[in-house]
Amino acid sequence: MTQLEIRDLEVCHGLLKAVRGINLDVEAGEVLAIVGANGAGKSTLMRAVAGSHRASSGSITFNGQNLAEMSSHQRVGIGLSLVPEGRRLFPKMTVQENLVVGSQIGRKGEWTVDKIFGVFGNLKERRHARAETLSGGEQQATAIGRALVANPALILLDEVSLGLSPAIVDRVYSILPQLRATQTTVVLVEQDLSRVMQVSDRIVCMLEGRIVLEGPTKTLSRDQIVEAYFGLKSEAGGETDR
């Protein structure tokens, strides 16, 4: 069942058109990875879906509801949560306080503050520490936890591994099996192609604001993705699928 439907979406930064004519369906319960070079429009697309960046034109529908006039807070209320690039925690608040803020949206579900501390054990002993004193990995776990305690039907993960060590990234990604088990839909922006090909059901590659490659992960080779990623010509002499 299609949960998120994007049609003819365009998003601008001033005079710069960062997202150009995007058409995309996301199925309930799938893990969709969005890849592309810096400046491809990935994060802008995520923010437009979450409501933190207004679309210039086009439509976004979530579970049959048109999101055009909904604020980002209202979108969280109907089950759509974003873990933004840069985490954006409340720096003077403690880990627990940041999580409680996320839980106040009031959606029913199995994700609670205590469950987050159970999943991310490194946060439990830091629960009373201010967010500004946390390591990068602890901040990322807190940001993910804050999104999860809102019990989203769809969670958007924007560059969650950026700047983290491989061991910490493994810990962050360890949450995916539990999200799959609860049929939570995941859309993630990720630079690490090896990891993307391990965890995703489907891959979308963006270049200069457009989707240039899309397909089930098992049908795409790393070479195909790299060619689309950089806008390279294929061996057959044609350009990558636009």
Report yes or no on 94 lying in a domain: no
pLDDT value at 236 more than 60: no
Secondary structure (3-state) at 41: coil
Predicted confidence (pLDDT) at residue 238 exceeds the cutoff of 60? no
Q: Are strands 202-207 and 16-27 parallel, antiparallel or unpaired?
A: unpaired
64 falls within a domain: yes
Q: pLDDT tens digits for 13-30?
A: 888 999 999 999 999 999
pTM of the model: 0.90
Confirm whether 103 is domain-assigned: no
The mean of the pLDDT values for the chain is 90
Token pair 């630079």 in the structure block, residue: 191
Is 110 inside a domain boundary? no
Q: Which residues contact 132 (CB under 8 A, 6 or more apart)?
A: 91, 92
Identify the CATH number of the domain in which residue 159 sits. 3.40.50.300
Q: Which of 134-138, 150-154, 233-237 has the highest mean pLDDT?
A: 150-154
- Does residue 3 contact residue 62 with C-beta atoms inside 8 Å? yes
User: Where in the sequence is the domain holding 208, given as residue range(s)?
Assistant: 2-84+152-230
Write out the two tokens for 38: 């810096």
Q: Which two tokens stand for residue 71?
A: 């604020």
Q: How far apart are CA 105 and CA 78, in angstroms?
A: 9
- Per residue in 165-200, pLDDT tens? 888 888 888 889 889 988 999 999 998 899 999 999
Residues 125 and 20: their CA atoms lie apart, in Å, by 45
233 pLDDT tier (thresholds 50, 70, 90): low
Give a yes or no: residue 95 inside a domain: no
Q: State the CB neighbour count (10 A cutoff) for residue 9.
A: 22
| 122 within domain boundaries | no
- State whether the Cα torsion 85-153-115-191 is positive or negative: negative
Asked if the structure places residue 29 within a domain, the reply is yes
Q: Torsion angle of alpha carbons 109, 60, 144, 129, nearest 10°? A: -100
Residue 40 is given by DSSP the state S
Q: How many domains does the chain divide into?
A: 1
Instruction: Tell me, yes or no, whether 80 lies in a domain.
Output: yes
Structure tokens at 68: 């055009």
Q: Which tokens go with 231?
A: 């806008």
CB-based contacts of 179-183 (< 8 A; 24+ apart in sequence): 179/31, 179/155, 180/29, 180/31, 182/109, 182/110, 183/28, 183/29
